[in-house]
Chains A and B, each alone.
Chain A
Amino acid sequence: MKTIKAYLMLAVIALVVAACSGNGANNGRSGANAPDNASEAGSGKQEPVTIKYTFWGSPNEKKVQEAAIKGFMKKYPWITVKAQHIPEEYTTKLQTMAVSGETPDIGLLYGEDTMKWAEEGRLYNIKDFFDNDSEIQLTDVLENTQYWWDEGKLAGINGALEVFGLFYNKAMFEELGVEPLPTKAEEALSWEEFVEVAQRLTIDSGGRNALDPAFDPGKIKQFGISLPTWAYMNAVESNGGKFVNEDGTQFMLSEPEAVEAIQRWQDLIYKYHVAPTPTQSASFPGGATGLQSKKFAISMDGQWTLVDLGASGLDFGIGVLPVMKQMKTMNLGEPIVIFKDTKHPQEAWLLLKWMMNPENTLELQSSGLWMPVLKKWYEDPELIAKWAQGNSAHPEGYVDAILNNGFNNGFQNTVYYVRNVPEINSVLQPAFDLIWQGKQTAEQALGDVKPKVEAVLKGVYNR
């Protein structure tokens, strides 16, 4: 009995190895058409293969991703992709699957988990696939969508790029006679100008704006701006600050540049009363719904909010982020990775490549949810027109304020390069609670938490 099992195992392994090396050779030799060759061969020789792909996302995202996968299966008929949508507690669920030996072959993974899993040797080095594939070069891919866990070791490529910008309700601007927000990075509002715009847009129940001496901050009817406090690195980097120092041994948010930037955000809430407190923002919806119901006039947010804005029918405008010392906008996104447990790495790679090509997920791009990860989709006007122009989610101004600005002035979110982010955040979060609740100044809270954070700093990842 045992010997039979062993033989079977051997046979399977042999088959897999043969299949893999066969594919590899194919890719190496036949260049750009490798997958097509494979597909032709597929009708007769390709063994049918099933791979599991896991992802999260809204119902809308789910639909489009599933459509993209259908297209993939049509192109590669011998590959069946079982797409599993896990909307909640994604990390936990994936760990669970790992325990039961049901790790997916390929899937989305949160940035911080990606790094951890990669270090534990649970992910493929994607760079090897790029090296063996003449169809696509690593240089084709935006740098800020790449998760490197060591020199020459690439853990994953984002499903999408995301950047920050300002989104506003045009009607509210017109009512109050406020100029539309600038869209070009060179013309961005300075911080002082931005505060003033926000003050003019904040109205109390007596109809006075926040510049009026009689303004009553206890009875605010509409706020100037909704602030993504969790994305404070936008302010920090714009003011020339850093999260940690070069080698990741020192906590830098307690340095003057960072403190000043975060203090400015806090001041929007407690000094100028133009942004809601965390408590206030808990009472009304954020994003598109908040703009639409006139709870606030400007939403500073990631560009994914466009998917809701586009669908809402609201007449909205787009502006470029305000600038402190330099224009910066945070780049973020969660990578798609290939799991080490997979028996079909080549097929998984084909799927990853498929998902990287905006052509195949065009609906996600044009709906406003995703931004492409391939450079030429930011440079070639013809390609840009395919997703970033002429649809309800991408009004005028998008190309300057979001697309170009993200492409030129993007910086990486901390998870891309700082080690041990989950632990750091669990220590840091309480300090930020105090800041956003107005209990302590940025200087006080960040100074106090510095030793605690430094106790869990573990350096940075080498690229």
Chain B
Amino acid sequence: MIRSKKTKLALYALLIVLSCFCLFPFLWLIRSSLMQMSQIYETPPVWIPSPFQFGNYSEALTVLPFGRYFLNTSLIVVLEVTGVVLTSAVCAYAFARLRWPGRNVVFMIILTSMMLPGAVTLIPVFLGWSSLGAVNTIVPLTVPAWFGGGAFNVFLIRQFLLTIPKDLDEAALVDGAGYIRIFTHIMFPLAKPALIVVGLFSFLNGWNDFLGPLIYLNDEAKFTLALGLQLFKGMYNAQWHLMMAATTMVVLPAIVVFFLGQKYFVEGIVMSGVKG
């Protein structure tokens, strides 16, 4: 669609400038995390640390057990993602392929909960978990994921399932397959692209969640990476080289997962037709 070379060049220039805006914070993060404190204050700013102060990382690690926080976070996220993917797929199947009275009304009602600010339910849900003695456990952070994984995810997978030809399950029915079997053997495998997108979204949600762990977790030993970083910030206020090292350690796992799932992340979301 682009005709002249000039436009193309301008386009690239623009994209590169914008990419810089996106990437610079990362570079600055890593640069600062590898500096000695004195170098951080130099003006004009030094761009490349010298020497590379890898000790900042080990120092941050001796202060707080980021390794353990990583495991804690991982456990929560794995439980969450599994719950979301499995149950939202099952529910989406029920909404997309099975006919039952009230289906559309129920779906609409559940969809409206997407508009609901979490603040409204926060307090009663919190009090509910408290009265069950579930505070300071990962239960409040993971169990809700096993209840359909939220309206948005059900909606997303349902949209995807609707695009699968109806003949497939009808043929299976004729062959005597049950609904469960149709789901496990036909729908679930076919919905893989949508499921990956949902999985990645819920991974990010879980990984980035701050308010949930903040409210529900008490013991330092149970902290997630996000809470650990906040704690670290409190203790090492304005020691930027250490704070940036800690921040890098929190960001890194998310980036690794992002690149592992990169193919699905952007293109997958684009292709699966997530839209209003």
Q: Which residues of A line the B interface, CB within 8 A?
A: 58-59, 84-89, 92-93, 96-97, 99-102, 281-286, 289, 293
Contact = CB atoms under 8 A, between A and B. Distances in A.
Contacts of B126: 96
B220 A87 contact: yes
Contacts of B238: 281-286
Interface stretch (B90-98, B130-138, B257-265): B130-138
A345 to B, nearest CB: 23
B220 A85 contact: yes
Interface stretch (B9-17, B164-172, B228-236): B228-236
Contacts of B239: 285, 289
A59 B218 contact: no
B63 interface: yes
A224 B143 CA distance: 55
A283 B132 CA distance: 44
A392 to B, nearest CB: 20
B130 A84 contact: no
A101 B132 CA distance: 10
Contact of B133 (A92, A102, A282): A102
B237 A88 contact: no
Contacts of B227: 88
Contact of B235 (A58, A282, A283): A58
Given A87-B231, A285-B237, A99 B219 contact: no
Interface of B: 37-38, 41, 63-64, 126-127, 130-136, 214-215, 218-220, 227, 230-231, 234-239
Contact of B234 (A85, A88, A92, A101): A88
A88 B232 CA distance: 10
A59 B63 contact: yes
Nearest to B243: A285
B218 A101 contact: no
Contacts of A84: 218-219
B230 A100 contact: no
A89 B38 CA distance: 32
15 contacts: A84-B218, A85-B219, A86-B220, A87-B220, A87-B234, A92-B215, A93-B218, A96-B126, A96-B215, A97-B218, A99-B131, A285-B236, A285-B237, A289-B239, A293-B41
A146 B239 CA distance: 35
A284 B130 contact: no
Given A88-B234, A96-B130, A101-B133, A284 B218 contact: no
